[in-house]
Structure 1
Amino acid sequence: MDGAELAYDTALSTLLAVLVYVLVKVSLDAIRQWRARISVLIVGSGPVGLTAALVAVRSGKVLKLTVLDERYRTALLCRPQQIALDPRSVRFLLRLGVDFDNMEGCWRGEHFFTKVGVFQEHLLSILEQKRQKVEIGVHLGTKFSEEYLRRIPGGAWPKVIIIADGSCGDSCSVLGISSDYIVESCHAYGANATIERLDQRQVPTPEIKAHNLYFDLSAYGVDALKEPRNPTQPTAKPGFHLKIYGTFRNRYMALACTAADTKMVRFLRHTANSSIMKNIFHQSFNAYKTDIEPRLNDLTLHHMQCSRKLFEIMLSHRRVSAAYIEGDNVAVTVEGEAARVLNFDTGCGVNLGMRGLESLGTFIYKTATALDQNDVFEALSAKIQHSKQVAETFRQTGLASTLFE
């Protein structure tokens, strides 16, 4: 055998060895990823927390799932507030196995409206059905605290912790995550009102929207029709936008307008007369309510509470929305109103929380199959970027899509 043949055989043998090594490594990595399973802890069993639980189960990478909530089942499921699920949220939930046909509520187009308690009970029933595939523990009446963490045996900490305990929760502080928020304007002004009438039924109803509203404030010296116009300034979207939502018993109203320096807006932002806004909501409700519900009159007006004046609509989102606890090798993500919240209730707060969950399945998969800390950090970085994008998108266009259109 001459030198050329020897070199050829050596090169071929080396190539075959490399190919075998690559094939074995790829196969072992594929098997490792396929078999990878982790433990996940979710703090909060509200709509976002329970939806996060379904996302975790659907990821196929969860061996043990634990859901905690300091509220007991009765307090959790009797909540009368109504939630509105837009088409995007509906499609997301359908992929998770939510059966809207077997849930109390109503449709308008592709939007679905139901009560918070009904929605939570349905998600709990789905989780109950998943126990055959995943070890699931739902512990209601159990508070997430430093004492709870101390009771976890060494080495048994969950790989992923999802915080979804709402805007008033303190679970992030238990884990040492900063409580700082970034507060940004949504370029709009708004006001809210609530009406509780115990003689009405707790029945979910579709939202009612009205646009381009003006109010007769001439009695207070404000005439919208004589508003001076500045030709050098771009024309703002005219008038106010109204949304009426909630059940017949618990009615809510949101009134908003794009930020504009008009005489009427200035007056309603700075007036000290609280009866003006109450009168606006009173007249608006009677003008746009459904035909089958009673009007508000002077005798029932005391059932309504509302903002004293227009205020700037602000979105607060957590400066740190994900973290890594190095000593225990735990990845933490913050979701729902624990991550971002409006100072203005439009009835779409759950939808804002659902947006954040759209990247949760990928985050869990990448964390479960990570080879080292760098892979976990990449998963955390992607989750943080998505959380920021959710906040920025809503700040720019959220009110337009949920209230102004």
Structure 2
Amino acid sequence: MLVLFDRKINSTLHRVTMTCDPDELARAMYMMSTNATVHIGITLSAIVVFIATSHVCRQIRKDLAQLTVIVIGAGPIGLTAALLALRCKRVTKLIIYEEESRARLEKRSYQIAIQPQHVSFLRGCGVDFDNLEGLWEDGCFYTRVGIYLGYIINILQLYKKPVDFNFSTKFSRDLSACVDSISGRKLAICCDGRNGLASRVLGLSDESIHHSTGVYGALAAIEKNNETYVPKSEIRVHNVGFDLSAYNSAAYEDEGKSKFNLKIFGNSTCRFLALAINKTDSNVVKTLRTVLDKSMMRNIFLKCFNTYKRADEASISDSFCLHHMRFSPRLYEIKLSQRAEIAAYIADCDLFVITEGEASRSYNFNTGK
């Protein structure tokens, strides 16, 4: 219609111009200006509609992309996950729930070992290891876990995004309802350990699947409460053999076939020993699997520590072990326990739930990692 209208105006203008009628010429010019105004109005309307639609679409995408992250459990896994969440542009708010108080959290005394590849990753996330108290050896960083947790908590508070710390708060069904009521998309990260209930409260099944690792192991802990806390590096020894002929003469026959892996770890106030060996039917393993005399395992751990300890550590006596050593009375099978469900999406409240760390999978064995 506009094309026909333009042609009509052009023909009229041509006719008026040829006849040189002033009134007709003025009328033709008016029609042309009116037509131009209509064109401009339509164009402006289209631009306004396009801008408004684009703005609405961008706002919808922005609202869908925005994410509130809820971390349950302020251990090393939980706080590291919180740090990664704050570095994500889509995360607009962080909420942390921890059953213990902050003071108690920062007093945790067990030692953690951060492997070289993890050190490099954490440096990229803003962790300044030069400002952390600890020990370096072979690219591995050893520190008291409370020091690491306190440092990460301070880092989280430096971000401009809102961070809501809830210490001394056990996650319960009432808090689950509060999480559901948060507007927008949410991500709950359950890091409350193998005995935590957060994942079940949020709707995940607590069923676990147990897998054999094909390894036997035993653990011991030596408490030295009179020592000053000093981080210690790990000691790893392979092909360790034991002479058990004093307990079982048959065990001496295949002593050379039963070689153990030993790891000594922990800080100066509490040293841990972990023994492990692949499943085998050797007499040595059978003896250590069925032994009823606890002194056998105590003597094994005692000799292992005194033989392979660090040069700056004092030897321990049998009488000291009687009062300050806790240990496995015999070898046991090391198993992996893994949750059947580790992630879920709850559409009603637009909530993603995932489990991490020991809340997702754990061993009945500790190697200090």
Structure 2 length normalisation: TM-score?
0.80
Once the two structures are TM-superposed, the CA of residue 79 in structure 1 deviates from its matched residue by 0.7
Instruction: Quote the Cα distance in structure 1 between the aligned partners of 2:163 and 2:179.
Output: 16
CA RMSD in angstroms comes to: 2.5
| Secondary structure of the corresponding residue to residue 345 of structure 1 | coil
Are 2:108 and 1:70 equivalent residues in the alignment?
A: no
Query: Does residue 270 of structure 1 match 2:296?
Result: no
Matches within 5 A, 1:201-280: 201-222=228-249, 226-227=253-254, 239-280=259-300
Query: Contact between 1:193 and 1:254, CA under 8 Å: does it hold in 2?
Result: yes
Distance change >3 Å, CA 152–CA 59, structure 1 → 2: closer
Q: Helix, strand or coil: the match of 1:220?
A: coil
- Tell me how far apart the structure 2 counterparts of residues 34 and 326 of structure 1 sit (CA, whole Å): 16
One of 106, 121, 129 as aligned partner of 1:100: 129
Instruction: Tell me by how many angstroms 1:224 deviates.
Output: 5.6
**Partner residue in 2 for 1:117:** 146
Q: Is the 8 A contact 2:242 2:255 kept in 1?
A: no
Picking from 309, 314, 318, the partner of 2:330 is: 309
Give runs of aligned pairs for residues 5-154 of structure 1, distance below 5 A.
32=61, 36-130=65-159, 132=160, 134-151=161-178, 154=181
Does 2:337 match 1:319? no
1:201, 1:247 within 8 Å by CA — same for their partners in 2? no
Following superposition, the deviation at residue 338 of structure 1 comes to 0.4
Give the corresponding residue for 1:354. none
Task: Give 1:30 shift.
Answer: 11
The aligned counterpart of 2:367 is: 346
Higher CA-based Rg: 2
Q: Partners in 2 of 1:74 and 1:30 — Cα distance?
A: 42
User: C-alpha displacement at 1:223, in angstroms?
Assistant: 5.8
Question: What is the CA–CA distance in structure 1 between the aligned matches of 2:365 and 2:180, rounded to whole Å?
Answer: 42
Contact 2:69–2:188 (CA<8 Å) still a contact in 1?
yes
Aligned letter for 1:347? G
Distance of 1:88 and 1:223 partners within structure 2: 45
Q: Deviations over 1:228-276 (max 9, x none)?
A: 99xxxxxx8x611111111111111101112222111111111111111
Deviations 1:114-158 (A, max 9, x none): 11111111111110111x2x1111111122111123345845376
**Aligned twin of 2:190:** 163
Q: Look up the equivalent residue of 1:270 and give its one-letter code.
A: T
2:214 aligns to what SS in structure 1? Answer: strand
Alignment-derived partner of residue 317 in structure 2: 297
Change (3 A) 1:154 1:219: closer
| Aligned-pair CA distance for 1:283 | 0.5
Q: CA deviation at 1:221?
A: 2.1
Aligned residues: 316
Q: TM-score, normalised by structure 1?
A: 0.73
* CA offset digits 1:292-326 (Å, max 9, x no partner): 22211033112001000011111111110001112
**Residues 1:194 and 2:221 are matched in the alignment:** yes
Residue aligned with 2:192, SS: coil
CA distance in 2, matches of 1:284, 1:345: 17
Distance 2:86 2:179 in 1: 22
Residues 248 and 287, structure 2, Cα contact 8 Å, conserved in 1: no
Letter in 1 for 2:69: V
Work out whether residues 270 and 309 of structure 1, in 8 Å CA contact, stay in contact via their aligned partners in 2.
Answer: yes
Q: Which residue type is aligned with residue 308 of structure 1?
A: P
- Alpha-carbon separation, structure 2, partners of 1:306 and 1:152: 42
Instruction: Give the secondary-structure state (helix, strand or coil) at the position aligned to 1:200.
Output: coil
1: distance between equivalents of 2:294 and 2:270?
22
1:29 is displaced (CA, Å) by 7.1
Structure with bigger RCO (C-alpha 8 Å, 6+ apart): 1
- Aligned-residue sequence identity (percent) comes to 40
Letter in 2 for 1:124: I
